[in-house]
Amino acid sequence: MTSRQRTVIIFKSESESSDVYAETLEKHDFNPVFVPTLSFGFKNLDELRAKLQNPDKYAGIIFTSPRCVEAVAESLNLGELPGGWKMLHNYAVGEVTHNLALSTLDQLFTHGKQTGNARALGDYIVDTFDGSRALPLLLPCGNLATDTLLSKLAENGFSVDACEVYETRCHPELGANVERALEIYGESIEFLAFFSPSGVNCAQQYFTSRQLSMDKWKLVAIGPSTRRALESLGQKVYCTAERPTVEHLVKVLLNPQDSRERLLKERERMAAIENNN
């Protein structure tokens, strides 16, 4: 770490994208320190496998996270996904999830990778879907999934078959990893970056148990749902990345004012809509 580098503690689950994040952040003189925040356990894989064997009963499949893709691959015992799915309407939130589906599910192509959260994906599906809504969309999901996507699709005449296939838990070594990071990097830590509402809650539990305030650092949210999770805990968010990519993270770290202006405009727009109603 050089004297010019600014340390970012990244509360993010371990994944192949971590190397990409590290390389890109370092190019912009940030020192990324990863703290695995969540752990996952699969469940109901027999039920999921049975559903996957019948693509003719579905309009398509929706992946809202890499874990959903991993659950599908695991349920198939890493075997081939029935070919019929490739002919359907398949969707994924974000490029990481899209790319994982391509690489692990026999080149299954998904639409919507430019969306960064469930709300945006719901809008995308409603705006672009050109098939029959008589059949449901299969939605593998986790135990902490919100109703945002389900509500959006239901309001617009879609049927969704949600199948809970994994549980999200706080990483068992979260506390030890945070303590190690604070000890090693100390005063050089400038940012805490959070990638999910569940990650926010796990980190908050740790800081509360140690009677540590997060106010001494600049809090960065990846996506609006993560920002809302921080704000619901009374935390002040320094800046918010629009989408869960390292490019968007670097953009707001380098130019946080742009993030704040965008948020202000969005809140003004929502207030105007509420007033008109």
Over residues 86-97, the pLDDT tens digits come to 999 999 998 889
- For residue 277, the model assigns a pLDDT of 57
Q: Per-residue b/e over 52-73, b at no fewer than 16 CB within 10 Å?
A: beebeebbbbbbbbbbbbbbbb
The residue behind tokens 């790319």 is 99
Q: Per-residue b/e over 223-258, b at no fewer than 16 CB within 10 Å?
A: bbbbbebbeeeebebbbbbbbbbbebbbbbbeebee
Tell me if 60 sits within 8 A of 138, measured CB to CB. yes
For residue 1, pLDDT beyond 60: no
* Average pLDDT of span 234-255: 91
Distance between CA atoms of residues 208 and 210, nearest Å: 5
For residue 217, pLDDT beyond 90: yes
Tell me if 32 sits within 8 A of 8, measured CB to CB. yes
Read off the DSSP letter of residue 1. Answer: -
* Average pLDDT of span 68-77: 95
Tell me if 30 sits within 8 A of 213, measured CB to CB. no
41-169 fold:
Rossmann fold (3.40.50)
Distance between CA atoms of residues 251 and 145, nearest Å: 28
Tell me if 160 sits within 8 A of 214, measured CB to CB. no
- For residue 245, the model assigns a pLDDT of 84
* Average pLDDT of span 35-54: 95
| CATH class of the domain defined by 6-37+171-276 | alpha beta
Where, residue-wise, is CATH 3.40.50.10090 in the chain?
6-37+171-276, 41-169
Residue 221 class from Cβ within 10 Å (0-12 exposed, 13-18 middle, 19+ buried)? buried
As separate numbers, helices (DSSP H) first and strands (DSSP E) second, the chain gives 11, 10
